Amino acid sequence: MVHQGATAASREPVSRKDAERCAIGALPAELLILIFIFAQPTGRSRRRLRHKAPFEVIPTQVSRRWRRVALAIPQLWNRIDIYSHRSMHWARAYLTRSDGPGTLLDIYVDIYEWEKSRNKKRKSKLPTRRRSVTDVLKGLAILILPQLQRIRGFSIICFSEATCMAILHAILRYVSAPNLRWLRIKFDHFISSMIRRPRGFKILENGSQQLTFLEMDQGDCMPTRSSLRSLTSLHLKNLHGDLHLTYSNIVDILTAPDCLVYLSVEGGISMATWPLHHDRPDFHLRHLKAFRIYNEGTMALSLLMSMSAPQLESLWLDTFTSNFGLLLLSARVSQGLRRRGFPALRYLTLPTMNVSIYTELANIFTTITHLHLPRVDSLQFEMLKPAFRQSWSSLNTLVITSTRDEEMTKMNAFLSNILPERQRQGHPIENLLVEPDHLRIIDKTAAHLRRETKVEIVSVDSYQEPWWIHGKRLTEEI
C-alpha cells in the first residue's frame, strides 16, 4: 500500500530488478522449490483447461530466476496432457523436464473432441488440413513407448472404438509397465461390426504388477491375469454382445485380483454361456466391499446369483427394464438370493428401479440401514409406501438426490406421511439426506420434517457410503 503523502514517482510500477530484490524474490531456491510443489492444484482443480496456461508454466513467466528454478523441478512437469497432434511438441518438453530420479509420469490422452470434430468434417466432406488419426497414433506411440517404465497413470479417452482399439494395439499390447498404478480407457462411438476383434487379445502382456485401478471400455482387451492381481478397483464398461466374452471369461477377470474391493459393471454380454446358480454361488469375492451394476436386469441378477461376497457393504442396482422384476419375483431367484445372505450389506442404491418390487428387495436385502433413491418421482410415491410400512426394519437413513424441483414438494408430502408412521412402529428414519435445493424447500414449506428426523445435506461427511468416499479419493488422485 502507498502512503497518502507519497510522491507520484513512488507510485510508479516496480521494475523487474526491484522485484528480484523483494522478499519472495530473494527466497533461497530450496524454499521456492517447496512453494512451487505445494502450490500445485489438487483434486478437481488439477483438470486442465485447454486455453489456459497450466500452473507449472506460470512461474516460468515471472522472472528468469523463477524460470530456472521451475524448470529444474521434475515433479512440476510429470503430468502430460495430449489433446491432438499439436500437443506433441510441448509434451516432449515436459518429458525432458520431468526426467529426474524417481519421478513418475501421469499421461492423459484426451483426443475425444479433436477426433469428433475431424469426423464431422469428414462426413460433411469439408476440406481439412488436419492430420489423420493414423498420424496421431504413430506420434503417440513414438512419444509414449519409450516412457512406459516411468508411467504411473495412463488415461486414454477417444471418440471412436476403432481409435481406442488402435491405441491398445500400438502402445499397450506387447509391453510391461512396472510402475503403472492406474489405467483408464474410454470411448464413446461404437462401430463394433466394422472392427475385427481378435480372440484372446491382451494388453500389458509382459506384466504390470502394481496396477490397482482399472477402468476399461474394451472388456475383451484386458490386461493379462498376472497384471490384474493387485487390482483393488475394477470398472468394466460398455459390455455388449459383440465382444468375445463368455461366463468363464468374466469369472476369470473378476477372480484374478487377490483383493478386489470396488467393482462396477456396465452393459452385458451374451447370456447363452451363463449358468444360473440357484443352490450355491460359483465364485467368491471375499474382499469385495462395493458392487455397482448398470444393466437391463438379466446379467445383474445372474452376477448376484453366481457370486458370494461376505464383506459386501454397498450395492447399486441400476436396472431399467421389466426383466429384472419378473426374474426377481420368481421363487427360485428370490430364494437363491436370500441364501446368498450378503450379511454385511448396509447401503442400497436404486437409481432407476421399478418401485413395485421394492418390497421384494426389502425381503431379500434385510440388513439395509441406508437407502438411496436418486431420481424418484411422484408417480412412484404410492408404490413406495408398502416397502416403507412393512419392510426394512433396520433402515435408519434415507437419501434422496437428483429430484426435480416440481417433485420436491410432493416428496415432502410423502415423507410427512411415512416418517411419523415409522416412528410409531418403532423403526424411525433417523436421518434424511437431501441436496441443497431440496433442503431449502423443506425449510420453507415443510419445516415440520425436522421434528420427525435429522435433515442434512448429503455429502461424503454425512453419507459414508463406500462409492461416495471412493469417488472423492479418485478425484483427488487421478
Residues 312-368: pLDDT tens digits?
Answer: 999 999 886 667 777 787 887 888 887 776 899 999 998 876 677 888 888 888 899
Assigned domain for 4 exists: no
- For residue 78, the model assigns a pLDDT of 93
Residue 91 domain flag: yes
Query: Which has the closest alpha carbon to 263: 243, 242, 283?
Result: 283
Residue 234 binned pLDDT confidence (cut-offs 50, 70, 90): very high
Give the per-residue pLDDT at 4: 39
Nearest CA-CA partner of 99 in 83, 76, 82, 81: 76
Pair 366, 399 in one domain: yes
Contact 105, 152 (CB under 8 A): yes
Max mean pLDDT among 7-11, 30-34, 256-260, 328-332 falls in: 256-260
Q: Look up residue 13 and give its amino acid.
A: P
Same domain for 118 and 71: no
Cell of 181: 498404478
pLDDT band for position 161 (cuts 50, 70, 90): confident
Q: Do 472 and 395 reside in the same domain of the chain? A: yes
Q: Are 227 and 200 in contact (CB under 8 A)?
A: no
CB 403 within 8 Å of CB 430: no
Determine, yes or no, domain membership for 177: yes
Q: Which helix (H) or strand (E) holds 294?
A: strand 290-295
Residues 368, 425, single domain; the answer is yes
| Beta strand residue intervals within 136-289, DSSP E | 151-157, 182-186, 213-216, 233-239, 262-267, 283-284
- How is residue 453 written as a grid cell? 428426523
Q: What is the mean pLDDT of the chain?
A: 85
For residue 225, pLDDT over 50 is answered with: yes
Q: Do 149 and 287 fall within a single domain?
A: no
- The strand pair at 283-284 and 307-308 is best described as parallel
Alpha-carbon gap, residue 183 to 161, rounded angstroms: 17
Res. 458 pLDDT band, cuts 50 70 90: very high
* Same domain for 336 and 263: yes
Q: Are residues 55 and 157 in the same domain?
A: no
Q: Which domain holds residue 186?
A: 78-231
Helix, strand, coil tally for the chain in percent (to 5): 45, 15, 40
pTM recorded for the entire structure = 0.88
The answer to whether position 213 is within a domain reads yes
Domain boundary residue, one of 231, 247, 262: 231
The reported pLDDT for the residue numbered 209 is 94
Is 22 part of a structural domain of the chain? Answer: no
Residue 10: pLDDT over 60: no
Calculate helix-pair angle for 298-306, 331-340, nearest 10 degrees.
Answer: 40
Q: For residue 440, count other CB atoms closer than 10 A to its CB.
A: 12
Q: What is the 3-state secondary structure (H, E, C) of 321-341?
A: CHHHHHHHCCHHHHHHHHHHC
- pLDDT digit string, tens, across residues 49-92: 667 788 899 899 888 899 999 999 999 999 999 988 888 888 99
Residues 85 and 218 placed together within one structural domain of the fold: yes
187 plus 154 within the same structural domain: yes
Tell whether 83 and 213 lie within a shared domain.
yes
Residue 188 — very low, low, confident or very high, per pLDDT cuts 50/70/90? Answer: confident
Whether 287 and 363 share a structural domain = no
Side chain identity at 388, as an amino acid letter?
F
Instruction: Domain count for the chain, please give it.
Output: 4
Answer yes or no: is pLDDT of 457 > 90.
Answer: yes
**Sign of the torsion formed by the C-alpha atoms of 397, 403, 408 and 414:** negative
144, part of any domain = yes
67 and 103 both lie in a single domain:
no
Q: What is the pLDDT of residue 218?
A: 86
Checking if the pLDDT of 120 tops 90, the result is no
In a domain? residue 10 = no
Q: Minimal CA–CA distance to 315: which of 263, 380, 375? A: 263
Q: Quick check: is 17 in a domain?
A: no
Q: What is the C-alpha to C-alpha distance for residues 65 and 84, in angstroms, rounded to an integer?
A: 32
Among 313, 345, 377, the domain-final residue is 345
**Residue where one domain finishes, among candidates 312, 345, 378:** 345
Asked if the model's pLDDT at residue 183 lies above 70, the reply is yes
Q: What is the DSSP string of 112-149?
A: HHHHHHHHHHHHHT----PPPHHHHHHHHHHHHGGGGG
Q: Can you point out the beta strands (E) in 200-272?
A: 213-216, 233-239, 262-267
> Could you count the other beta carbons within 10 Å of the beta carbon of residue 318?
17
Check residue 389 and give its pLDDT: 82
* Amino acid identity, position 272: A
3-state secondary structure at position 283 = strand
